Amino acid sequence: MEETSREAVATAVQRVAGMLQRSDQLDKVEQYRRRESRKKASVEARLKAAIQSQLDGVRTGLTQLHSALLDVKDIQNSLADVSKDWRQSINTIESLKDVKDAVVQHSQLASAVENLKNIFSVPEIVAETQQLIEQGELLQAHRKLMELECSRDDLMYEQYRMDSKNTSDMSLISIYFEDVQGLSDELAKQLWMVLQRSMVTVRRDPTMLVSVVRIIEREEKIDRRMVDRKKQTAFIPPGRPKRWKDKMFEVLEGTVSTRIEGTQAVTREADKMWLVRLLEITRKYVLDDLIVVKNLMVQCFPPHYNTFNSVEMMGHPELCSECDINQLEPLLPQDVVDDLLNKYVKTFTSNITGWLRKALETDKKDWLKDTEPEADQDGYYQTTLPAIVFQMFEQNLQVAAQIDGNFKEQVLKLCLKQMNSFLMRYREEVVAYKEEHIRDRQLPQCYVQYMIAIINNCQTFKESINSLKRKYSQSSEPTDSDAAIERMLNEVAKEGCQFLLDEVFLDLEHHLNELLTRKWLMGCHAVDTICVTVEDYFNDFNKIKKPFNQEMTSEALRRVVVEYIKAVMQKRITFKNADERKEGAERMIKEAHQFKFLFRKLAAGEDTDRLCGAIAAIAEVFKLTDPTLLFLEVPTLVSKYPDIREEHIQALLAVRGDASREMRQMIIGTLSENKVSYSGVTQPIFKEITVPTITMTTMTTMTSMATAKLLK
């Protein structure tokens, strides 16, 4: 310690001497002193912390050592107790031999009880199994055989566990189940017989061959289980392992040998060309048999058999290729290949354009036929156009797939691009078809049916395009062509639906013009005729595929309601008194219910009640007997149908015929102050309904008529 103190003092003196080498440094003595004091305090603090940490570590270590010592003592005491108990239990274990024997006997009895049903019915089951084998029900026969063998093996195993040297009991069990081995041999004979005739069986009744293979696979599993148990217990049932799988291959090999040996019909002495004939017959038989094996027999065996490509078949080393074709150089330079592919693409583009044009021309001729188009298996009308188009695409994509994966993708993109251009022409031809029909609605006779087929073709095109992409494209990302094709197909289908609805409403035009007229009020049957006509058309429209049939039904309902409300807004009638208003309103409510019933039957969707309810809501405005209540009923109507405009309200009040000008202005003013904003969530009804305005000529005519009436 003294030496350490001296070294510390010497070091301090040396540091002080270094600090005060110049006179001007004396002014900084106090500063140096404070700095050294801080350093000293810091060092002392760190030293104290280090010492404290060491002390805490020593304290923790001592605590753990003490705890470990206590644990060791506890373990010593426990071991002593265990040793004592073990010595005391030796005699007890020896006295439990009777219990052990009882447990073994109990296990035997439990096994016997479990198999009791089979034990007492062994003769019956043997007879049933024999009958099933004779009837060719091999799977059922094998199931019963397994039950018998399982009962026998379990009993013998329990007897072996209890007393392996007791051969008399073993013999007793074997004698009782002696018929089981005979059944097994008889079943095996049937299996080998089927396998010997496998080339014929696989053509006539492949399920029989499949059953034979399943039975052999079951026996292989049982063989493996019994061999594993023998390793543990040294017991194996009689007749195990059967090795039926090995026997199966022996039978098949013998069948092949017999097949080849049986082809020698003549000898050298009878015909000098005997060898040529023999080889030719053998070649033919081998080729025919290999075709049967590849196309039919492979499906009858489990995949892990590798039936056709096994070493004994086409996987034989002598049939392998003599060199690895992947190591050979390309037959053509890459620039030549690229040039050929470019020429192929140009030729394909030109050809596919011509093919598509011819296909469309052929389809157009079908549209003019007097007979209905063909229907698919679900009863939907269709033409052959989608099948022809995608058969062309499929053939060219198969060729492209054999060349290169990238080239296949290139050809697929080209097909989709051509498809988009084709659909534009298709749409133009459909529009022209409709316009030609409008000139003479009697021709063509099956216009409606072929327009339905055109709509269904759009859905078929979609499904075929998706099928091609799944089969030939490695990318699942949608492209610009996909979006364009989808959009064009939807437009063609929706326009087709619109054309069909135009056809319906051309037939309904006369009856729609009768609505809300004096004739209608007197009791005409315009709405009855409208409903019957729509239902009749939709019997044909049922042959339109989803989702277009649903959309078309919804659009038909919307158009019927809009046309009905247009009849109201055109002010074809002005009610003269309360009785007429009540009669007209009740008729409107009745007809709204007729429309609702019809379109619910046609499954027009959830909007049926709201659309038909618009007619009933207008009827409620007409039905009011007290005009002052219009201040309540009209705002209710506007709240339900916020797309209604002021001119619509003016027209409704004009049809009522009893609202004064001041009342109309007050109602409109009230609505303007409490205007309901239209959110656009529901489908609009009044938005496209215009109210006819009274021109100056009409007003002059009406004034002249009124003046003449007054003078008269």
Domain CATH for 473 = 1.10.357.50
> Is pLDDT of 702 > 60?
no
- Same domain assignment for residues 461 and 546: no
> How do residues 292-337 score in pLDDT, each as one tens digit?
887 888 888 888 877 777 866 666 565 555 556 676 677 788 888 8
Query: How many structural domains comprise the chain?
Result: 3
Structure confidence at residue 485 (pLDDT): 92
Structure confidence at residue 490 (pLDDT): 94
- Same domain assignment for residues 608 and 657: yes
Average pLDDT on 270-278 reads 75
* Final residue belonging to a domain, choices 439, 463, 497: 497
- Give the structural domain span for 558: 515-673
Q: Is residue 363 assigned to a domain?
A: yes
Confidence tier at 19 by pLDDT (50, 70, 90): confident
Q: Is residue 588 assigned to a domain?
A: yes
> Is pLDDT of 712 > 70?
no
Q: Which letter does DSSP use for residue 23 in this model?
A: G
| Number of alpha carbons in the 13 Å side-chain half-sphere of residue 314 | 13
What would the two tokens of residue 674 be?
A: 């409490």
Distances from the Cα of 550 to the Cαs of 208, 460, 489, 604, 671, in angstroms? 49, 17, 17, 7, 36
Structure confidence at residue 313 (pLDDT): 63
Which residues, including other chains, have CB under 8 Å from residue 199's CB and lie 6 or more apart?
Answer: 255, 259, 289, 292, 297
> How do residues 433-443 score in pLDDT, each as one tens digit?
999 999 988 88
Which residue in the block uniquely carries the two structure tokens 């019956």?
124
Structure confidence at residue 381 (pLDDT): 93
Other Cβ atoms closer than 10 A to 162: 14
- Same domain assignment for residues 473 and 447: yes
> Is pLDDT of 219 > 60?
yes
Structure confidence at residue 677 (pLDDT): 62
Is residue 381 helix, strand or coil? strand
Q: Which residues pair with 381 in a beta bridge?
A: 375
Beta carbons of 540 and 621 less than 8 angstroms apart: no
Per mean pLDDT, which range of 248-262, 265-279, 634-648 is the poorest?
265-279
C-alpha–C-alpha distance, residues 270 and 307, integer Å:
39
- Same domain assignment for residues 483 and 375: yes
- Same domain assignment for residues 488 and 351: yes
What would the two tokens of residue 222 be?
A: 């049982």
> Is pLDDT of 108 > 70?
no
Structure confidence at residue 557 (pLDDT): 93
> Is pLDDT of 683 > 70?
yes
Q: Is residue 93 assigned to a domain?
A: no
Q: What are phi and psi of 584, to 5 degrees?
A: -65, -40
- Same domain assignment for residues 526 and 490: no
Per mean pLDDT, which range of 7-21, 224-238, 550-564 is the poorest?
7-21
Structure confidence at residue 118 (pLDDT): 59
Structure confidence at residue 265 (pLDDT): 66
Structure confidence at residue 117 (pLDDT): 61
Which of 334, 479, 335 is closest to 419 using CA atoms?
479
C-alpha–C-alpha distance, residues 184 and 240, integer Å:
11
- Judging by beta carbons within 10 Å of its beta carbon (0-12, 13-18, 19+), is residue 47 exposed, middle or buried? exposed
> Is pLDDT of 661 > 70?
yes
- Judging by beta carbons within 10 Å of its beta carbon (0-12, 13-18, 19+), is residue 71 exposed, middle or buried? exposed
Q: Residue 578 is inside which H or E element, if any?
A: helix 578-601
- Judging by beta carbons within 10 Å of its beta carbon (0-12, 13-18, 19+), is residue 475 exposed, middle or buried? exposed
Is residue 199 helix, strand or coil? helix
Average pLDDT on 116-131 reads 78
- Judging by beta carbons within 10 Å of its beta carbon (0-12, 13-18, 19+), is residue 565 exposed, middle or buried? buried
Structure confidence at residue 386 (pLDDT): 93
Beta carbons of 555 and 497 less than 8 angstroms apart: yes
Q: Is residue 374 assigned to a domain?
A: yes
> How do residues 357-402 score in pLDDT, each as one tens digit?
999 999 999 999 999 999 888 889 999 999 999 999 999 899 888 8
> Is pLDDT of 206 > 90?
no
Structure confidence at residue 523 (pLDDT): 86
Structure confidence at residue 597 (pLDDT): 93
What would the two tokens of residue 132 be?
A: 């099933």
Q: Is residue 234 assigned to a domain?
A: no
- Same domain assignment for residues 342 and 484: yes
Structure confidence at residue 324 (pLDDT): 62
| DSSP H helices in 514-547 | 518-522, 526-541
Q: Is residue 81 assigned to a domain?
A: no
Structure confidence at residue 133 (pLDDT): 86
- Same domain assignment for residues 597 and 522: yes
Structure confidence at residue 183 (pLDDT): 86
**Higher-confidence position of 316 and 154:** 154
> How do residues 552-576 score in pLDDT, each as one tens digit?
999 999 999 999 999 999 989 999 9
- Same domain assignment for residues 445 and 379: yes
Rg (CA), the chain: 50
> Is pLDDT of 47 > 50?
yes
Q: Dihedral of the CA atoms 382, 388, 389, 391 (nearest 10)?
A: 120
C-alpha–C-alpha distance, residues 391 and 468, integer Å:
11
Average pLDDT on 138-163 reads 82
In three state form, how does the secondary structure of 318-357 look? Answer: HHCCCCCHHHCCCCCCHHHHHHHHHHHHHHHHHHHHHHHH
Distances from the Cα of 188 to the Cαs of 194, 267, 315, in angstroms? 10, 37, 29
C-alpha–C-alpha distance, residues 206 and 199, integer Å:
10
What CATH number did the domain enclosing 566 receive? 1.10.357.70
- Same domain assignment for residues 658 and 621: yes
> Is pLDDT of 60 > 50?
yes
Is residue 368 helix, strand or coil? coil
Confidence tier at 257 by pLDDT (50, 70, 90): confident
**Higher-confidence position of 168 and 237:** 237
Structure confidence at residue 49 (pLDDT): 84
Structure confidence at residue 357 (pLDDT): 93
Q: What are phi and psi of 520, to 5 degrees?
A: -65, -45
Q: Is residue 601 assigned to a domain?
A: yes
Q: Is residue 690 assigned to a domain?
A: no
C-alpha–C-alpha distance, residues 565 and 28, integer Å:
106
- Same domain assignment for residues 549 and 586: yes
> How do residues 409-423 score in pLDDT, each as one tens digit?
889 989 999 999 999
> How do residues 156-178 score in pLDDT, each as one tens digit?
887 787 766 667 777 877 787 88
* Final residue belonging to a domain, choices 497, 526, 550: 497
**Higher-confidence position of 316 and 461:** 461
Confidence tier at 705 by pLDDT (50, 70, 90): very low
> Is pLDDT of 618 > 70?
yes
Distances from the Cα of 706 to the Cαs of 155, 658, 694, in angstroms? 118, 19, 16
- Same domain assignment for residues 383 and 488: yes
Structure confidence at residue 704 (pLDDT): 40
